Amino acid sequence: MRKALLSLFVFLLCFSLPSPGFATPPKAGSSCTKLGATQNSGGKKFTCVKSGKKLIWNKGVLIPTPQPSVNSTSGATPPKSSFSPSPLQPNNPNEISSTSPTPGRFCTNENSQSAFGNEYLVCTYGVWGRKLGFRITPTTISVSTYTPKYGNVTEKELEKSILANWAEWKKKKIVNTPKVTVVLQDGYSKDWEVVTREVTTYTSNVLDGNGLKLVQVPYWVYGENEAFRIAAFNEFAKTATCNPPYIANSEEAIYCATADIGSGGLRIAKPGVPVANNYRLTEKDTRLLTYFVAHDTAIFYVVQTQYNDVAYTGNKYQIPAWIREGSAQLIGLLATNDLRNSGKSYVDLKGEAAFVGPKPESICSKDLQDAEGKEKIMPDHCSQAMHLYAVSLLVAKFGGLEALFKFHRLYGLNNDWVSDFKESFGISREDFYREWWAYLGIPKSDWPDLQLPTPPERY
C-alpha cells in the first residue's frame, strides 16, 4: 500500500512541477533561458526572444477568449473540424458492389474519402459516414450508349432539308417596310444605304411573318473614322436601353442588340480600305454586304426572341456563342441566297464569296464545348465556321428553324440552356456533340471527353 501511495505521489509531483525556465511568471523584458519558448500568463502569451546578446520575454500577445457555442449545453466548445473535399466523381448507389464504401461499413484508412451518389463519405473511427453539407461536383460526363445517326450525311443533304424548311417560312413572309435608321459618313455612296434597307426589310419580313419581332429600330452606322463612329454612338446612347459603353478602336460593334456601328470596308471584307470616297459597291461587294446585314439583323432577332416583348437590357444570360452565331450565319446565308443567288444553293454561294469557311474536317482549336459561353472571338477560320455547320445539323435533323427559335425563346424564360436544348431539339447536349463529331467524320476513339456545360454568362 505504501508502495502504491509513493508511486502516486511521484506521478503527481512529475505533473505539477514547472518546466525548466518557467519557475516564475514571465514579465516583459525579464530574462528567459530558451529561445522560442512560450508561456501563458495573465491572459497573454509570452515568447522568449533574442535582444542583442540576451534572451528576454517579449511584451506578449492577448490570448483570445473562446466563445461558447450557441447550441452547446456545456461550457466547453468542441473544436471545429476542417474538411478538404477531394476531386471525386459521383456514382450510382444502386450499382455499387458489396465491398464498396457505403454509410456504416467498416473502413481502414482514417480520413480517406469516397463517393456515395453525389455525397462524400469519410472514414472516421473505422466506419464510413456521410459528410453533411458537401456535394460532389462532377468534372466529366458519364458514358452514354447513344449511337449517332448522321455520321454519313453530306452538306448538300442538310442544305436540301434546310431550304425546304426556309421555303415554308417564306410562304408566311409579310409585306411591310420596317423602320430602319441608316447613318452614312460623308463620302459614302448611296448604294450602301440602299442595300442595307433592302436586306433589313427582306429578312425582317420573313422572320416577322413567322411570329418573330423586333422591339427596337435597327440602327446602322457606316463610319470611316473613330470620331464619326463615336459621335453616332453618342447619339444612339441617348435613348439606349442597355447603357452600353463605347468599344474603342473597334472597326465594328453591335450595341444593345439593335445598333450596328462600324466601317464600310470591314463589312465587305476589306478592313482598313477607305470607302468614304464615293466608292461604288461591286457585285461581289453587294453580296458580302448583303450577308453582313442579314447576319447582324438575324442577331437582333435571335436576342429579341430571348427577351420576348421587352427591349434588350443586357440583364439576361448570353445565348451560348456557337448557337447564337450559328443561327445568325444560317439566316444570313439564306437571305443572301434569296436576294443575290435566286435561291439556288447557299452552299455554292458560300464557297464562291467566302462568307463562311469550309466544313471542318477535324476538331477545331476550339470545339463546341469551348464556345458555350459569351465568347465571340474564335482564334481561326475553323472555329469561326463550326457554328454554322453545327446549327445546320441541328436545324436539318432536329426540329427545323421552329426548334431553333423555340430554344432562344425558352432560354429567355428560365436560364437553363441545357434543359432548353433537349426540350427544343429532342436530343441532349451531350448526344448532339456525339452527332457532331460523327458528322465531322472523327473516329469514336478520338472524340474529346465531354465536359460539364459552361455556366451561364453575362457581358
Map grid coordinates 447564337 to a residue. 324
Q: Which of 2-6, 129-133, 156-160, 326-330 has the lowest mean pLDDT?
A: 2-6
Q: Phi and psi of 327, rounded to 5°? A: -60, -45
pLDDT at 158 over 80: yes
Per-residue pLDDT reduced to its tens digit, 5-25: 333 333 333 333 333 333 456
Q: What is the mean pLDDT of residues 162-171?
A: 98
Q: Which contiguous run of DSSP H or E holds residue 265?
A: helix 264-267
DSSP 52: T
CB 292 within 8 A of CB 267: yes
The whole-model pTM stands at: 0.71
Ramachandran class of 331: left when φ > 0, alpha when ψ lies in -120 to 50, beta otherwise: alpha
- Write down the number of H helices and E strands in the chain: 12, 11
Per-residue pLDDT reduced to its tens digit, 293-339: 999 999 999 999 999 999 999 999 999 999 999 999 999 999 999 99
Give the pairing type, strands 219-222 and 259-262.
parallel
pLDDT at 78 over 50: no
The predicted pLDDT at position 140 comes to 61
b/e map 317-346, b = 16+ CB within 10 Å: bbbbbbbbbbbbbbbbbbbbbbbbbeeebb
Q: Which contiguous run of DSSP H or E holds residue 260?
A: strand 259-262
Which cell numbers in the block locate residue 246?
463605347
Question: Sign of torsion, CA 171 174 177 178?
Answer: negative
* Domain coordinates in residue numbering, the chain: 105-137, 155-446
The predicted pLDDT at position 439 comes to 97
Q: Which of 11-15, 181-185, 437-441 has the lowest mean pLDDT?
A: 11-15
434-to-143, 150, 327, 443 alpha-carbon distances in Å = 11, 10, 20, 11
Q: What is the mean pLDDT of residues 32-46?
A: 72
Q: Which CATH number fits domain 155-446: 1.10.390, 2.130.10, 1.10.3470, 1.20.120?
A: 1.10.390
Question: What percent of the residues of the chain are helix, what percent strand, and what percent coil, each to the nearest 5?
Answer: 40, 10, 50
Confidence of residue 139 (pLDDT cuts 50, 70, 90): low
Those residues whose C-beta lies under 8 Å from the C-beta of residue 250, and which sit 6 or more positions away, are 262
3 state DSSP class of 426? coil
